[in-house]
């Protein structure tokens, strides 16, 4: 027992030491950072609990969103702490993988030897340390994947325990774990389907009536995910669609046609996880011959399914492992409106393959008459290689630019990888390098609206207004729904003094999405420039409601109130801005000016002094004159 605990502690430490640090990325922002249901969570309010659970972008993942909200309340805006929790969840999942393997062995055999228990431990460790697990652990929003995986493997362990002991309480606990998995992420819907496959291929004999009841219960467990799919289909057009899929450049048929190619790529990653990338840039299959690998991939998939059927009696464990892997990947690789390929989707499916590797090694080495020590040595080498690669990949995840650079090095013809790198370089103020990457992306994919948009934003930062506008307008020609491009154009024209044009693009952005706080902010700024103060106030208030932590929205609201003649409302707004972002010179100086006008000279001088300390020279001059 001590060695088992030590092994899993080592797993956690390997991940923790090399994955310390962190940053928010892509889907982290809408799901966590900009999600008020998470960031404004109040544990003392029942309404806040409900909002955190069901008021987030993915409305049927309350377990995941509550975990984000609770952690944000304890440690706001702390991606490093969120990664540590992800690592602990992953380590917990590895423990359940070990327990599930051990319980499955006990169920299938009259007695389990110590050697098999050791192989189960080695299998769980290989799964935990495999490099493909670095994406769900380090990509913070993929805690959803971790939670679903953890509760799913807990379900298998509890179900096997109930199957072995015959005690109903274990089935009840299994049902609870399955519910938590399903409410963490919908890919856990495969759990009862996998258990049906297990009962078909490996289930111990029992009376026909009992077996019939068992299958009926397992089929009944499929009802909740079917209901969830119905809710999504009724409330959103983004999850399911016939023909062209929303926000994708492929159809449902093309996505399904691509599935076997994606399966083979996933299998390749399990056996040779190098190079790894955030975005592999895989293209969809347009027909069975485009690309040419589509037809062979379908043939390979057919051969695999035929082998499962043919060898189900002779090698039932292997048949189950392969079938479970295929089933577990199916929802995210076939009919759902998702990107074609992401590493984190291997998290649960790999549970059915990687932990069985030690038995495969044992069978292989047994042909050469090698004993248990030889198996242990071989597995030690595999674990060391996996841990080393995981360590290196975690270091990539420790720095955003390094992560994006590795993606470009691995797949230089992937225009999205270059766009991502350009955006990261821009945020780091490495504008010349950012521009070069954006132009490379355009050369690779001249039809990429995102590439032109990124280039336009970089050119704005470089002060090239003419080229930036041309690039952003080209982006909108390719994709008229790009709010970021419209906002960048509004900023460019506004900075250049053409407020009518700036107003036009700001209005288009708001028309595209009225709940976009930055769009409301920019529209308010342009209306204020045109001295339409009441309209500006209205949009600043909306922006502040949509993003209560936006200092810019509240600060500009104060400016609009001041210019509209409402001095007290301006002071209130600026005080709120000072609470959101303390010690900002412009906020402090304007508070001093407004309070001085109201005759509160003592308070005014206090704010002028604070502004001076914050580096505002105008306020320093006022303080010196006094």
Q: pLDDT tens digit string along 79-104?
A: 999 999 999 999 999 999 999 999 99
pLDDT at 205: 86
Q: State the pLDDT confidence band at 362, using cuts at 50, 70 and 90.
A: confident
Which residue has tokens 């799913």? 152
Interatomic CA distance for residues 414 and 436, integer angstroms: 15
pLDDT exceeds cutoff 70 at 454: yes
Mean pLDDT of 60-87: 95
Q: What is the CA radius of gyration of the chain?
A: 28
pLDDT exceeds cutoff 90 at 18: no
Task: Tally the residues of the chain.
Answer: 626
Model confidence pLDDT, tens digit, residues 425-444:
999 999 999 999 999 999 99
Under 8 Å between Cβ of 4 and 377: no
- Written as one string, the DSSP assignment of 305-372 is HHHHHHHTTTSHHHHHHHHHHHHHHHHHHTTSS--S--GGGGTTGGGGTGGGHHHHHHHHHHTTT--H
- Burial 424-455, CB ≥16 within 10 A → b, else e: bbbeeebbebbbbbbbbbbebbeebbbbbbbb
275: preceding bond cis by omega (within 30 degrees) = yes
pLDDT at 244: 65
Return the higher-pLDDT residue of 168 and 621: 168
Model confidence pLDDT, tens digit, residues 536-574:
999 999 999 999 889 999 999 999 999 999 999 999 999
Q: Packing angle between helix 415-427 and helix 400-410, nearest 10 degrees?
A: 160
Q: State the pLDDT confidence band at 243, using cuts at 50, 70 and 90.
A: low
**Which region, left, alpha or beta, applies to residue 77 given φ > 0 means left and ψ of -120 to 50 means alpha?**
left
287 beta partners: 290
Share of the chain above pLDDT 70, in %: 94
Q: How many CB atoms lie within 10 A of CB 45?
A: 12
> 411 to each of 220, 236, 266, 335, 417, how far by Cα in Å?
44, 34, 16, 27, 8
Mean pLDDT of 202-231: 90
Residue 290: phi and psi, rounded to 5, are -135, 100
Q: How many CB atoms lie within 10 A of CB 202?
A: 15
Q: State the pLDDT confidence band at 393, using cuts at 50, 70 and 90.
A: very high
pLDDT exceeds cutoff 70 at 13: no
Model confidence pLDDT, tens digit, residues 601-626:
889 899 889 988 888 888 888 888 76
Under 8 Å between Cβ of 308 and 327: no
pLDDT at 316: 92
pLDDT exceeds cutoff 60 at 396: yes
248's CB contacts (< 8 A; 6+ apart) are 255, 337
Q: State the pLDDT confidence band at 1, using cuts at 50, 70 and 90.
A: low
Model confidence pLDDT, tens digit, residues 463-514:
999 999 999 999 999 999 999 999 999 999 998 899 999 999 999 999 999 9
> 355 to each of 27, 360, 563, 569, how far by Cα in Å?
30, 10, 68, 64
pTM: 0.92
Averaged pLDDT of the chain: 91
């Amino acid at each position: 027992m001590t060695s088992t605990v030590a092994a899993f502690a080592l797993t956690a430490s390997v991940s923790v030491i090399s994955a310390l640090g962190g940053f928010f990325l892509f889907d982290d922002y809408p799901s966590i950072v900009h999600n008020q249901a998470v960031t404004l969570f109040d544990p003392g309010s029942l309404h806040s609990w409900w909002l955190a659970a069901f008021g987030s972008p993915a409305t049927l993942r309350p377990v995941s969103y509550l975990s984000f909200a609770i952690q944000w309340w304890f440690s706001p805006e702390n991606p490093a702490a969120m990664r540590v929790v992800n690592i602990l969840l992953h380590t917990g999942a590895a423990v359940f993988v070990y327990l599930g393997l051990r319980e499955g062995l006990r169920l299938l055999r009259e007695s389990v030897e110590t050697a098999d228990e050791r192989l189960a431990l080695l299998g769980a460790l290989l799964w935990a340390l495999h490099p493909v697990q670095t994406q769900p652990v380090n990509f913070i929003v993929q805690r959803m994947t971790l939670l679903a995986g953890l509760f799913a493997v807990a379900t298998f362990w509890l179900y096997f325990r109930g199957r072995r002991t015959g005690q109903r309480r274990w089935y009840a606990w299994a049902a609870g774990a399955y519910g938590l998995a399903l409410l963490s992420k919908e890919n856990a819907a495969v759990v009862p389907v996998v258990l049906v496959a297990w009962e078909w291929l490996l289930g111990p004999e029992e009376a026909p009536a009992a077996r019939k009841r068992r299958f009926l219960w397992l089929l009944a467990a499929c009802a909740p995910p079917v209901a969830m799919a119905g809710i999504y289909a009724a409330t959103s057009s983004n999850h399911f669609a016939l023909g062209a899929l929303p926000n994708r450049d492929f159809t449902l048929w093309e996505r399904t046609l691509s599935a076997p190619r994606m399966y083979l790529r996933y299998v390749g990653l399990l056996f040779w996880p190098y190079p790894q990338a955030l975005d592999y840039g895989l293209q969809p299959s347009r027909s069975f011959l485009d690309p040419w690998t589509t037809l062979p991939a379908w043939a390979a998939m057919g051969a695999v399914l035929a082998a499962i059927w043919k060898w189900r009696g002779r090698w039932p464990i292997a048949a189950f492992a392969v079938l479970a892997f295929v089933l577990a990947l199916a929802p995210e690789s076939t009919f759902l409106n998702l990107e074609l390929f992401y590493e984190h989707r291997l998290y649960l499916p790999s549970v059915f393959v990687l932990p069985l590797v030690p038995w495969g090694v044992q069978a292989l080495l047994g042909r050469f008459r090698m004993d248990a020590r030889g198996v242990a040595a071989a597995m030690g080498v595999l674990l060391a290689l996996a841990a080393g690669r995981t360590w290196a990949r975690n270091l990539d995840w420790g720095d955003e630019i390094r992560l994006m650079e590795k993606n470009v090095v691995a797949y230089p013809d992937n225009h999205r990888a270059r766009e991502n790198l350009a955006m990261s370089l821009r945020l780091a103020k490495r504008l010349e390098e950012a521009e070069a990457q954006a132009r490379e992306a355009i050369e690779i994919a001249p039809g990429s609206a995102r590439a032109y948009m990124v280039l336009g934003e970089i050119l704005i930062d470089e002060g090239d207004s003419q080229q930036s506008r041309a690039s952003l307008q080209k982006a909108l020609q390719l994709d008229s729904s790009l709010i970021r491009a419209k906002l960048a154009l509004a900023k460019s024209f506004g900075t250049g003094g053409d407020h009518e044009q700036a107003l036009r693009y700001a209005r288009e952005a708001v028309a595209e999405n009225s709940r976009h706080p930055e769009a409301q902010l920019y529209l308010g700024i342009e209306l204020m420039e045109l001295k339409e103060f009441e309209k500006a106030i209205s949009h600043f208030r909306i922006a502040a409601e949509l993003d209560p932590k936006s200092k810019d929205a509240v600060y500009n609201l104060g400016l609009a109130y001041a210019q509209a003649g409402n001095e007290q409302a301006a002071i209130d707004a600026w005080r709120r801005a000072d609470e959101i972002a303390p010690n900002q010179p412009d906020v402090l100086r304007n508070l001093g000016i407004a309070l001085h006008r109201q005759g509160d000279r003592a308070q005014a001088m206090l704010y002028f002094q604070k502004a001076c300390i914050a580096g505002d020279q105008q306020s320093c001059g006022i303080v010196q004159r006094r």
